[in-house]
Amino acid sequence: MTLRYETVAEHLLTAITQGIYRAGERLPSVRLLSQQHQISTATAVSALRLLEDQGQIEARQRSGYYVRPRLRSVLQEPTMSSPSREPTQVTGQELVLRLVKAANNPQFIQLGAAVPAPSFLPTQKVAQLSATTSRRYRQRMSSYEFPPGAPELRRQIAKRMSEQGCPIDPNDILITNGCQEAMTLALRAITVPGDIVAVESPTFYGLLQVIESLSLRAIEIPTHPREGIALEALQLACEQWPIKACIVVANYSNPLGYCMSDLRKQALVELINRHQIMLIEDDIYGDLGFGLQRPSTVKSWDSEGRVLYCSSFSKSLSPGLRVGWLVPGALYEKTEYLKYVTNLATPTLAQLIVAEVLEHGGYDRYLRRARQQYRQAVERMTAAVGGYFPPGTRITQPQGGFLLWVELPGKVDAITLTQQALALGISIAPGPIFSATQKYRNFIRLNCAVDWDERLNKALVTLGQLVQKKLNG
């Protein structure tokens, strides 16, 4: 016998399937349901709970029940990139600055920058340790902590890297103002203006900005959304051009989110050894994988000292502290000097706070929680894009981090989409800024590490509608 609440649930489900209530839309309230079906409010609640248990709808605090976005079967991955085969001057990066400035507005829904919302970061622990650390080191924190940086911090970093299978001595480490400075110092130490560097395509726009500012040329290498930089294409480029260095984010790249296998990491090291080029490894997302094991670093396979390793605590602890590091190998003295002449030192207090978090702050416990949070955030955003964006949309399946690379159907132009979204208070990152030659016109990158509330949900519905309108012409 079918119970009354089951019949009501069935009725609602039919309405959802027929599109009368669409993904993201609110269902009638309990009171309205009980009036419409002449049932008690308890029966109406049971009907809604049944649909909630089936994953069809979700309750939102003090707001009612909403139809859950559903994955349109399984969304397809974007295709492998096929960038230009020639080195080029990097252009168009001033657009990034304009977008970053617009996106700095706290009123905006922040889907553009790859910055986790504070709820994803251990802000309370950092605040508590900054208070105790500044009391303990009242005098020391007022002095410079000249390069290579605070010994206790370098010791903690060396310990972690060694435990992760990459034996490093504290004296191999140079503390920097974030990963961006580590990459900049590495590039400055290796290249002179006009040199060619190989980059993944698409790649992190901050890197393209550094390349542009150092008057270097970039050659974009096709990159697979799950396997990473195409080694055969990199090999061809090395045979054809005098490439000085290659830069990769092998663990959970930005924007693709792939993680290179150990075999491919080893093959990459063999390739750079064969061609005698340097490799700059940016491992900023390495601790943020969704799997059980932390992936290896390319540096751990480095047999001839050709890998310069860069990372920071910006994605895992606090972007505002601006603490990163570089393992520059044979270029230690050169990069140490460059660091010194650029900005003398990294702030002392920030270095000491991070050392304290690593030693006594339960950093690993926090990381375990953060990895879960990021995975859930990526799943949720994937489901929302699947539910709200038009058919034909493709999306990456990142194995770590918190970014999604979305290929929009047809000829939807990501730059005008970004401008329209900004006018509505929504910041997104348009595809062309991830390429030296402004490819990826129909791609956007979304930051998933955002607080999920009604405003965000509405913003995603709006984005989906904007894309649909563009698609209709």
Ligand X SMILES: Cc1ncc(COP(=O)(O)O)c(C=O)c1O
Binding stretches for ligand X (CB under 6 A)? 114, 178-180, 204, 206, 249, 254, 282, 284, 312, 314, 319, 324
Q: How far is the CB of 296 from ligand X (least distance, A)?
A: 18
Q: How far is the CB of 382 from ligand X (least distance, A)?
A: 19
Q: Which of 282, 407 has the CB closer to ligand X? A: 282
Place of tokens 């308890």: 42
Q: Which of 69, 178 has the CB closer to ligand X? A: 178
Instruction: Give 308-368 as a DSSP string.
Output: EEEEESTTTT-GGG--EEEE-GGGHHHHHHHHHHHHS---HHHHHHHHHHHHHS-HHHHHH
Q: Which of 177, 457 has the CB closer to ligand X? A: 177
User: Phi and psi at residue 278, in whole multiples of 5°?
Assistant: -95, 155
Q: Which of 178, 228 has the CB closer to ligand X? A: 178
CA distances from residue 44 to 9, 40, 51, 52, 392 in whole angstroms, order as listed? 9, 6, 11, 12, 37
Other CB atoms within 10 Å distance of the CB of residue 119: 11
Q: How far is the CB of 320 from ligand X (least distance, A)?
A: 9
Q: How far is the CB of 310 from ligand X (least distance, A)?
A: 8
Residue 205 C-alpha from the chain's centroid:
12
Place of tokens 């400055």: 188
Q: How far is the CB of 473 from ligand X (least distance, A)?
A: 35
Q: How far is the CB of 407 from ligand X (least distance, A)?
A: 20
Which one-letter DSSP state was computed for residue 463? H
Q: Which of 254, 346 has the CB closer to ligand X? A: 254
Q: How far is the CB of 211 from ligand X (least distance, A)?
A: 13
Helices (H) and strands (E) in the chain, counts: 15, 17
Expressed in percent and rounded to 5, the helix, strand and coil fractions of the chain are 45, 15, 40
Q: Which of 296, 312 has the CB closer to ligand X? A: 312
Tokens describing residue 25? 């839309």
End-to-end CA distance of the chain: 51
Q: Which of 103, 249 has the CB closer to ligand X? A: 249
Residue nearest to ligand X (CB): 178
Q: How far is the CB of 174 from ligand X (least distance, A)?
A: 14
Q: Which of 247, 421 has the CB closer to ligand X? A: 247
Instruction: Give 252-304 as a DSSP string.
Output: S-TTT--B--HHHHHHHHHHHHHHT-EEEEE-TTTT-BSSSSPPPPGGGG-SS
CA distances from residue 363 to 97, 285, 309, 357, 402 in whole angstroms, order as listed? 33, 15, 21, 6, 19
